[in-house]
Amino acid sequence: MHRFARYMVNWVAGTKLIFLLLLVVILLTGNEQTLRLTSAAMALAIASFFGRLFPLVRQMGREHEITPTNYDRMLGWMIGAMVAAFILAAVV
């Protein structure tokens, strides 16, 4: 089971890297419409994480299963700020 968990962690990390690099390329080469659509897509994708995974992190935080203390709150504020920034970027 340990190897499978390590595989999944590395798979997620690799997938994140692919999408982050793709986002950088879009931000550097995209036209105005592409940048707006990308901002809207990022806001939706991050909000999807927030809606599905954040409740689990919040529960672990309440049960003191994660460190540092109040990490779940800090993560919530960071995710909220990112969603707001991407929405603002899509509108502006």
User: Which residues, including other chains, have CB under 8 Å from residue 32's CB and lie 6 or more apart?
Assistant: none
What are the domain boundaries of the chain? 1-30, 31-92
pTM of the model: 0.67
- CB–CB of 61/73 below 8 Å? yes
Question: What is the tens place of the pLDDT at every residue in 31-71?
Answer: 999 999 998 998 898 888 888 888 888 898 899 888 888 88
**Residues 56, 62, 63, CA angle at the centre, nearest 5°?**
90
Q: What is the pLDDT of residues 24-33, one digit of tens each?
A: 899 889 999 9
Neighbours of 43 (CB within 10 A): 19
C-alpha triplet 42, 73, 56: angle, nearest 5°: 75
